């Protein structure tokens, strides 16, 4: 098949943007890629073959519909995450949009410490009735784990394809502007917003256990904005370096390059971009055995624990350190594999459209 013209539409920053960038970077090798985004992404792009389009205001409610109307000649339109403006696609004349692909990252609203009004707004936005119409309108729905795909099927009655896309570290390494700090001790990283549902109480218990029992050579790094519920708690902890703020993308490489372990003791989770990023940095992960973690975390790259108590976490660290030196995966092979998966999906969509014309 000839090169495809693919539009990747990305809303906002953070993990959703990183997914769109990774998708663009693996697809551009044999396709013409245009990236619609609200952000300045020039520093991330290792190639200049990806065209950046910013003349559609993605913050407007009808922006998704406007992308299709203003740029009607793309073979594929891939909306890489949910945004309220995607609901505008419901009001297109076509019953289905066969060349529109939509990635669903989660099926649940996780319990951030939002105020009541914000929670009510989220419930209205993630309206089950409208979402059901939207998903059935799409030519193809994708999920990044079978766990989330199962939730989507149960809630909306649609069957998304599952294609896992690694969170490639090179985009962060290329923009790293922060001096790396090397720790003589085992450095355990907790990364991302510090919220109760992420099992932060277990992290606090672990840090206190290490200090109370004078366990040597263990250091903790807490990187992410701390919930107000924990104000003043982390400042009292010993052997802990705290970065209580939004972490810039240019700093991410520093944290993961210096980490010996990532701990993710979630009480509830669907999937985690932080975990997939740790995998690409070859940082072993100790996580709760919930959500989609079992699809990502294997004995060679970490441990899944049913009970996240200090003893079990420390035992997991010992066991992981006994395992042979982490094998560094072939990044180019990973990219080629992912390229083929996404490329085949797009080609099959186009083939199906041509056969019905």
Question: What mean pLDDT comes out for the span 285-298?
Answer: 89
Q: Would you state the structure tokens that stand for residue 302, as one six-digit string?
A: 């970490």
Can you give the pLDDT at residue 118?
A: 64
Q: Would you state the structure tokens that stand for residue 355, as one six-digit string?
A: 């056969």
Same domain, 160 and 182: no
Question: What mean pLDDT comes out for the span 251-256?
Answer: 92
Can you give the pLDDT at residue 1?
A: 65
Number of domains in the chain: 2
The 3-state secondary structure of 70-110 reads HCCCCCEEEECCCCHHHHHHHHCCCCCEEEEEEEECCCCCC
Same domain, 107 and 141: yes
Residue 29 vs residue 202, higher pLDDT:
202
Q: Classify residue 327: in a domain, yes or no.
A: no
Residue 210 confidence class, pLDDT cut points 50, 70, 90: very high
Question: What mean pLDDT comes out for the span 325-352?
Answer: 76
CB atoms within 10 A of CB 201: 14
Q: Classify residue 329: in a domain, yes or no.
A: no
- Segments forming the whole domain that contains residue 308: 171-322
Report H helices in the chain.
15-27, 63-70, 116-125, 128-137, 146-156, 170-173, 200-212, 249-257, 273-280, 293-296, 310-322, 331-356
Can you give the pLDDT at residue 202?
A: 93
Same domain, 304 and 344: no
Same domain, 30 and 107: yes
Same domain, 350 and 310: no
Can you give the pLDDT at residue 171?
A: 75
Q: Which residue has the tokens 């013209």?
A: 5
Q: Classify residue 282: in a domain, yes or no.
A: yes
Q: Classify residue 242: in a domain, yes or no.
A: yes
Residue 67 vs residue 119, higher pLDDT:
67
Same domain, 198 and 222: yes
Q: What is the mean pLDDT of the chain?
A: 85
Same domain, 272 and 232: yes
Torsion angle, alpha carbons of 272, 278, 279, 281, to 10: 150
Torsion angle, alpha carbons of 170, 172, 174, 180, to 10: -110
Residue 46 clears pLDDT 80, i.e. is over it: no
Same domain, 103 and 245: no
Q: Classify residue 328: in a domain, yes or no.
A: no
pTM for this model (two decimals): 0.84
CATH number of residue 95's parent domain: 3.40.50.2000
Can you give the pLDDT at residue 67?
A: 93
Residue 50 clears pLDDT 80, i.e. is over it: yes
Lowest-pLDDT range of 39-48, 57-66, 246-255, 334-343:
39-48
Question: Residue 13: CA atoms inside 13 Å, Cβ hemisphere, count?
Answer: 8
Same domain, 58 and 186: no
Residue 324 clears pLDDT 50, i.e. is over it: no
Can you give the pLDDT at residue 178?
A: 62
Task: Give per-residue pLDDT as tens, 271-291.
Answer: 888 998 998 888 999 999 998
Q: Classify residue 290: in a domain, yes or no.
A: yes
Question: What mean pLDDT comes out for the span 26-53?
Answer: 85
Task: Give per-residue pLDDT as tens, 97-135.
Answer: 999 999 998 887 665 666 667 666 666 767 788 899 999
Can you give the pLDDT at residue 287?
A: 92
Same domain, 132 and 203: no
């Amino acid at each position: 098949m000839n090169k495809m013209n693919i539009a990747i539409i990305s809303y906002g920053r953070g993990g959703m943007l990183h997914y769109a960038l990774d998708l663009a970077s693996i697809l551009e090798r044999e396709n013409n890629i245009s990236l619609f985004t609200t952000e300045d992404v020039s520093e991330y792009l290792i190639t200049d073959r990806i065209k950046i389009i910013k003349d559609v205001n993605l913050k407007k409610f009808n922006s998704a519909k406007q992308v299709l109307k203003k740029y009607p000649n793309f073979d594929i339109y891939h909306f890489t995450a949910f945004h309220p403006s995607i609901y505008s696609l419901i009001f297109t004349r076509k019953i289905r949009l066969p060349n529109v692909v939509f990635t669903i990252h989660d099926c649940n609203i996780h319990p951030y410490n939002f105020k009541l009004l914000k929670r009510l707004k989220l419930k209205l936005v993630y309206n089950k009735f409208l979402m059901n119409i939207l998903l059935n309108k799409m030519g193809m729905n994708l999920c990044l784990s079978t766990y989330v795909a199962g939730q989507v099927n149960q809630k909306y009655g649609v069957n998304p394809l599952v294609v896992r896309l690694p969170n490639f570290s090179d985009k962060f390494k290329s923009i790293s502007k922060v001096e790396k700090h090397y720790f003589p001790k085992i450095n355990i990283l907790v990364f991302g917003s510090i919220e109760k549902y992420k099992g932060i109480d277990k992290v606090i218990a672990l840090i206190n256990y290490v200090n109370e029992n004078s366990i040597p050579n263990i250091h903790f790094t807490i990187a992410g904005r701390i919930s107000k519920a924990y104000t003043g708690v982390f400042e009292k902890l010993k052997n802990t370096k705290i970065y209580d703020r939004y972490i810039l993308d240019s700093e991410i490489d520093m944290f993961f390059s210096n980490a010996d372990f990532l701990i993710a003791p979630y009480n509830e989770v669907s999937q985690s971009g932080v975990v997939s990023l740790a995998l690409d940095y070859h940082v072993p992960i100790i996580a709760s055995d919930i959500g989609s973690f079992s699809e990502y975390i294997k004995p060679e790259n970490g441990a899944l624990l049913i009970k996240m108590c200090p003893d079990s976490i420390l035992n997991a660290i010992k066991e992981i350190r006994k395992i042979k030196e982490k094998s560094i995966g072939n990044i180019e092979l990973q990219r080629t594999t992912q390229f083929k998966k996404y490329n085949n999906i797009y080609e099959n969509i186009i083939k199906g459209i041509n056969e019905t014309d």
